[in-house]
Amino acid sequence: MKSLAVVIVGAGGSGRETCWVLRDFMAQSKSHIEFQGFVALDTPDQGPLDRLDAKFLGDPRDLVNRIPNSSDWSYSLGLGSAIHRRHMDEILSHQGLKSLTLMHPTVQIGPDVDIGSGAVVCANTVITTNVRIGLSAQLNIGCVVGHDARIGDYVTLAQGVNIAGNVAIGNDATIFTGAIVLPGVTVGEGSTIGAGAVVVEDVAPYSTVVGVPAKPLA
């Protein structure tokens, strides 16, 4: 059986956390997966990568020109920024690589859940039922997503975010650590929710809200 070669985009903290997800996924999966290493726009500190026994493969923008047959690889986006994930999706898919949907083995998923291509779902996350998650979304450690939630493309949920039932989150939104979004709330495209915020009413697109209850940042 042919192995699936995978590269992680981003060699910072988010990328190295994604490596953990990938390796635990590889240990449980029956698929034949080979982790090739990291790619990034900037050269990382090699020390953390050495301790992970991982290679740095250079700039993703000319990957196919530098590494023969890498157009057949898949990639996982280990980038905390929605804008950067969207940009890397365009760059790597244009070179022929395919995005890999990646879920840690401890993730709990209920019935009728649809997760978009390229999403990364980290350890101990719970997704209940009738949920839709968009392309290349990132759900970090310990998130909870309630029934009938709709999470758009490139959304970022940091550690411990709690999304209640019937919540809608627009594309490219970022919700920081420990924030809570209450039932029925709509979070607009490109908006930012501060750490620990409790969101009780709709959030306008491209705005930032903080606090309990969450209010627009002055």
Indicate if 83 and 157 belong to the same structural domain. Answer: no
Q: Is the pLDDT of residue 147 over 60?
A: yes
**Is residue 218 assigned to a domain?**
no
Indicate if 28 and 66 belong to the same structural domain. Answer: yes
Residue 164 token pair: 């209640």
Q: pLDDT tens digit string along 166-207?
A: 999 999 999 999 999 999 999 999 999 999 999 999 999 999
Indicate if 93 and 107 belong to the same structural domain. Answer: no
Q: Is the pLDDT of residue 25 over 70?
A: yes
Q: pLDDT tens digit string along 75-121?
A: 999 999 999 999 999 999 999 999 999 999 999 999 999 999 999 99
Q: Is the pLDDT of residue 31 over 90?
A: no
- DSSP, collapsed to helix, strand or coil, labels residue 56 as strand
Q: How far apart, in Å, are the Cα atoms of 48 and each of 26, 54, 105, 126?
A: 20, 9, 24, 29
Select from 180, 202, 177, 178 the least CA-distant residue to 191.
202
pTM summary value: 0.94
Q: Using the 3D structure, point to which of 69, 100, 131 is the last residue of a domain.
A: 100
Domain limits at 17? 4-100
**Is residue 136 assigned to a domain?**
yes
Indicate if 72 and 146 belong to the same structural domain. Answer: no
Strand 113-115's sheet: what is its strand order? 113-115, 131-133, 150-151, 168-169, 186-187
pLDDT for the residue numbered 105: 95
Phi-psi region of 196 (alpha: psi -120 to 50; beta: other; left: phi over 0): left
pLDDT for the residue numbered 50: 94
**Is residue 84 assigned to a domain?**
yes
Q: pLDDT tens digit string along 196-216?
A: 999 999 999 999 999 999 999
pLDDT for the residue numbered 149: 98
Q: Using the 3D structure, point to which of 36, 71, 100 is the last residue of a domain.
A: 100
pLDDT for the residue numbered 68: 85
Indicate if 67 and 150 belong to the same structural domain. Answer: no
Number of H helices, E strands in the chain: 4, 23
Could you give the CA distance from residue 157 to residue 154 in angstroms, rounded to a whole number? 10
| CATH number for the domain that contains residue 85 | 3.40.50.20
pLDDT for the residue numbered 86: 96
Residue 90 token pair: 């365009």
Q: What is the mean pLDDT of the chain?
A: 95
- DSSP, collapsed to helix, strand or coil, labels residue 77 as strand
Cis check: omega of the bond before 213, within 30 degrees of 0: yes
pLDDT for the residue numbered 29: 77
Q: Using the 3D structure, point to which of 100, 134, 153 is the last residue of a domain.
A: 100
- By the 8 A CB rule, do 184 and 167 touch? yes
Which carries the bigger pLDDT value, residue 69 or residue 159? 159
Indicate if 190 and 115 belong to the same structural domain. Answer: yes
Select from 8, 7, 17 the least CA-distant residue to 125.
17
